[in-house]
Structure 1
Amino acid sequence: MATEILMPALSPTMEEGTLAKWLVKEGDTVTSGQILAEIETDKATMEFEAVDEGIVGKLLVAEGTSGVKVNAAIAVLLDEGEAMPEAGAAPKAAAKANTAETVEAKASTPAAAQAAAPSAPKSGDGSRIFASPLARRIAADKGWTLPRCRDRAPAAGS
């Protein structure tokens, strides 16, 4: 029976990852413990091992696809002599592949994301909020503008 290989959660906080590289091809025979792919999280790149034995029937997610959700099907593993099912699994696999393509298309449009970014925070009276250099850099990456430090009041005791 065909077995779906799911995107693993490589850390407790992982919700999605990037399938950086496949180390197997369709039609390859894999054994338990064999490395199938390299998966990038927000913190590291890790190798993903096969849990079962079988033949790689179909790779559902292409190399370099980002935003692949944890527990989403990324490949199909077949038993020896088994053919790739056409009726039930193909539409399900195609729908999941389309979802991955949609996520990838959304990730490739940063201009739309920047247009929806909120403005820099201000206090209730309209004066600026002080920010560290790191906060300023993050704000600049998001397209926000923060006031300069020259508006800062002198420190107490000076």
Structure 2
Amino acid sequence: MALEILMPALSPTMEEGTLAKWLVAEGDRVQSGDLLAEIETDKATMEFEAVDEGVIGKLLVAEGTANVKVNSAIAILLEDGDAADATAVPAQSTEVAVAPTPVSGTANATAPNETGRAVPTPVSSNDSTRIFASPLARRIAADHGLDLAKITGSGPKGR
């Protein structure tokens, strides 16, 4: 019987995360404790281990997919004797993929790197002074098309 590998909750408050990198490919045999993927939360990037043993039948969520809901199916694990046709996508699969959208302007533009993932460019204001913002704040601003140079922070020294 094929088993769904679900997006884990890596912290008590985690509701969604980014599947940063697959460490296995379809057809790979995995044992309990083998590393399957790297999952990025808003606080850290953690490795996700296999709980059961079998063969990876199908990877349902692509590498680099953001906003994958906790407990949604991310892969299918085939047990011994399962046929390859058991890899059909389950009906309750609810993963959400949000592609980064390019934003015009130089303050919060993104540039794709050699892996195809968007990498935020350094943010600075028009008068070339550094803007103090956390990486999470920069990413959220870029996702929403906001210019950090025009936003006054509520933290210490305008952060």
Give the residue type in structure 1 aligned to 2:62: A
**Structure possessing the higher radius of gyration over alpha carbons:** 1
Q: Output the CA distance in 2 between the equivalents of 1:91 and 1:74.
A: 10
**3-state DSSP of counterpart to 1:85:** helix
Q: Could you tell me how far apart the structure 2 residues matched to 1:79 and 1:73 are?
A: 16
TM-score computed with the length of structure 1 as normaliser: 0.61
State the partner residue of 2:76.
Answer: 76
TM-score (ref. length: structure 2):
0.61
Equivalence for 2:12: 12
For the residues of structure 1 that align with 2:151 and 2:80, how far apart are their CA atoms? 62
Q: Choose from 82, 89, 92 the match for 2:90.
A: 92
Partner amino acid, structure 2, of 1:56:
I
Q: Which residue of 2 aligns with 1:2?
A: 2
Specify the SS of the correspondent of 2:27.
coil
**Cα root mean square deviation, aligned:** 2.9
Instruction: Pick the structure with more helix per residue.
Output: 1
Of all paired residues, the percent bearing the same amino acid is 65
What are structure 2's unaligned runs of at least 5 residues? 104-130, 153-159
After superposition, give the CA deviation of every residue in 1:8-57 in whole Å (9 maximum; x if it has no partner): 00001111000011111100110001110000000000000000010000
C-alpha separation between the residues in 2 aligned to 1:82 and 1:28?
14
Is the CA contact (8 Å cut-off) linking 1:2 and 1:84 kept in structure 2? no
Question: Per the alignment, do residues 53 and 146 of structure 1 end up closer, same or farther by CA in structure 2, a change over 3 Å counting?
Answer: closer
User: For 2:81, what is the secondary structure of its paired residue?
Assistant: coil
Give the Cα separation in 2 of the matches to 1:65 and 1:5.
16
Counterpart Cα distance in 2 of 1:64 and 1:3 = 23
Could you say which residue in structure 2 is the equivalent of 1:55?
55
Partner in structure 2 of residue 155 of structure 1: none
| 1:67 alignment partner in structure 2 | 67
List, as ranges, runs of 4+ consecutive aligned residues in structure 1 with deviation greater than 6 Å. none
Who is 2:98 aligned against? 104
Helix, strand or coil: the match of 1:8?
A: coil
Tell me the CA shift for residue 83 of structure 1.
Answer: 1.2
Going from structure 1 to structure 2, the CA distance change for 1:96 and 1:109 (only over 3 Å counts) comes to: farther
User: d(CA) in 1 for partners of 2:77 and 2:102?
Assistant: 35
Structure 1: unaligned runs, 5 residues or longer = 112-132, 148-158
